[in-house]
Structure 1
Amino acid sequence: MDLLLYIGIFIAALATLLKASNWFVDSAESIGLSMGISPFIIGVTIVAFGTSLPELATSLASVFAGQSEIVVGNVIGSNITNIALVLGLTAIVVKNIHLDNDLWLIDMSFLWASAFMLWFVLADSHLGTFECILLILGLILFLTYSFKGNERADSADRPKALPKHYLLLVLGGVLVYFGAEYTIYAITEISTILTIPPKLIALSAVAIGTSLPEVVVSLTAARRGKASIAIGNVLGSNIFNTFIVMAIPGLIGNLEIPADIISFYLPLMIVMTILFGVMAFDRLITRWEGWILLLFYLLFMGQIVQS
């Protein structure tokens, strides 16, 4: 009965976290448009940050709860899930993803750089303050290049932000906090009852749950003929995960870096990131490539089950 109770708390808390994140993203997007920020920049920054908000919230809550090994599992698990599951499903649903922009100019280069930088800073199984600052500087550099090309819309063409947008922005932020706190609480209790390491739950259940916004945003955009937005969402979300979701909890407390994550899951994330870049090189991701990505995801989940 206790197990069912904590599973119920986990589902309810995660649902609250995702819904609150959706309010936060929608409100931030409306406010950004009212300020003249272009939809593309909003997609790779505000929307990408918003879909990474559940990962950041759960990672911060895990540090405060003394379960810091969840952080690295959450980041790496979410990045693998975003590429293998989210991108794979999107390619299968729309058959072929045609890319309008050359991702290699900025976005893919930053994605590869963030992945390799994470590999280097975690190689010694320790994340120091200086390394966290470097990760944050990496995000600042990415945002600088992204906003540099932003062309502000004319004042007459800008939609107006309503009071409800500011209200939902604040309410969404508050609910994200509580949703994350109870998600980590439930994970801790479930892992204790089942004697499953929290890192494995973070790699699987939490990674899938916190990646649901990416799944919804990407599939919705793809069905509307805006597959490039889906690609940008995955790119931006993974960059935010690596630079911010690792760095901010690392500045707050010492993070535990499990050895098996460094030896298997982190290299798998690097492989998935490289594969993503290779597939996007010709500006076309086919349905067959989507199935290949899903096979890698099955490999990822199979390793977790074996553990």
Structure 2
Amino acid sequence: MVLLIWLLALSGGLLILTLSSDWFVSSAEKIGIYFHLPAFIIGVVIIGFGTSLPELASSIVSVLHDQSEIVIANAIGSNITNIFLVLGVSALFAGSYSINHDIFQTDMPFLAGSAILISLMTYDLSFSLVEALICLVALGLYLYRSITQGQISEQILEQKSEIESEDLKKPSLSNWLILIISPALITVGASVTVKSVVNISEILMIGTEIIAVTAVALGTSLPEVMVSIQAARKGKGDIAVGNVIGSNIFNTFAVMGVSALFGPLKIPESYRIQTLPIFIGATIMAYFIVQDKKVFRFEGVLLLLFYIYFLGSSYGFF
């Protein structure tokens, strides 16, 4: 009975976390567009960081609650989920779709680079403040490169085209209230999520990192799932794939880098044995799948099979 209560609490915490993050991004985007903020500000600060808000919030709270082993599991688990589940489901539901943008100019090199860098940094089961600062510098370099190449502006034009005319009117009172209240809800959702993970792990006598790398990663990746499915079904493969690539780069550099500023990060032994090899394999698969700038349905099915294996191996079923 106690386990059921905490499972419901975890579900509720993740729901609050994802919904409040989505509300925050949506309201901030509408307000930013109305006040004619530069495209790169909307893209980088609002949309870019906004998609990583659930992972970032829950990671910071876990550090403050002395459960910092959740950070690496959350960041890397979300990256694995984005590749296997988000790309897999979008291809399954949308069928084959093409990628028109030259993702190999900036995005894919940074995706591969971020995976290699974080793997090298965490292989010794430690993550120092200096390494965190390197990640933040790398994030800044990625943002600068994206802005100068005009990628952020292109994404914003796509976003603007999706916004209905009434959304471009003067922001309503509810927009401002949501912008003010949602950060508090994000904090509450993150706190409930972390506390639930700790209690569930104690009841089931398994590591908190196992739940974080699977259940929490799944919950915080749900916004990416929905965005990518809708984009792929509309034939906008650039948004579907770009959503995954951008989110993974932010998770690696921002979530790990920012969280380490609040305290030292613990990295469990199981990470190097179980999670890290799957993370590297997922990144390699993503690189090969998008190299022809097309994603096929059979590739989506393959990715989903790998996701099932990832979940099963995490809980010792395989």
Pair 1:140–1:120, CA change in 2 (3 A)? same
Deviation at 1:29, TM superposition (A): 2.1
Deviation at 1:41, TM superposition (A): 8.4
- How many Å separate the matches in 2 of 1:282 and 1:181? 42
- How many Å separate the matches in 1 of 2:76 and 2:307? 13
* TM alignment of 1:1-307, pairs within 5 A: 1-34=1-34, 35-38=36-39, 46-148=46-148, 149=150, 159=168, 162=171, 163-306=173-316
- How many Å separate the matches in 2 of 1:27 and 1:111? 29
Pair 1:160–1:131, CA change in 2 (3 A)? farther
Contact 1:69 1:255 in 2 (8 A): yes
Q: Deviations over 1:245-293 (max 9, x none)?
A: 1111112111111122123311211121121111111110111111111
Greater CA drift, 161-170 or 89-98: 161-170
- How many Å separate the matches in 2 of 1:209 and 1:288? 25
- How many Å separate the matches in 1 of 2:93 and 2:38? 30
Greater CA drift, 170-179 or 258-267: 258-267
- How many Å separate the matches in 1 of 2:184 and 2:115? 30
In structure 1, the gaps of 5 or more residues are none
Residue identity matched to 1:145 = R
- How many Å separate the matches in 2 of 1:4 and 1:125? 33
Pair 1:179–1:138, CA change in 2 (3 A)? same
Pair 1:45–1:233, CA change in 2 (3 A)? farther
RMSD value over aligned CA atoms? 2.2
Contact 1:9 1:183 in 2 (8 A): yes
The total of aligned residue pairs comes to 303
- How many Å separate the matches in 2 of 1:165 and 1:159? 12
- How many Å separate the matches in 1 of 2:9 and 2:70? 18
- How many Å separate the matches in 2 of 1:203 and 1:147? 31
Contact 1:45 1:236 in 2 (8 A): no
- How many Å separate the matches in 2 of 1:161 and 1:266? 47
In structure 2, the gaps of 5 or more residues are 158-164
Q: Deviations over 1:163-185 (max 9, x none)?
A: 54343222211110110001111
SS in 2 for 1:246: helix
Contact 1:110 1:239 in 2 (8 A): yes
Pair 1:17–1:202, CA change in 2 (3 A)? same
Deviation at 1:197, TM superposition (A): 1.0
Residue identity matched to 1:69 = E
Q: Deviations over 1:135-192 (max 9, x none)?
A: 0011111111222226699xxx994551543432222111101100011111111111
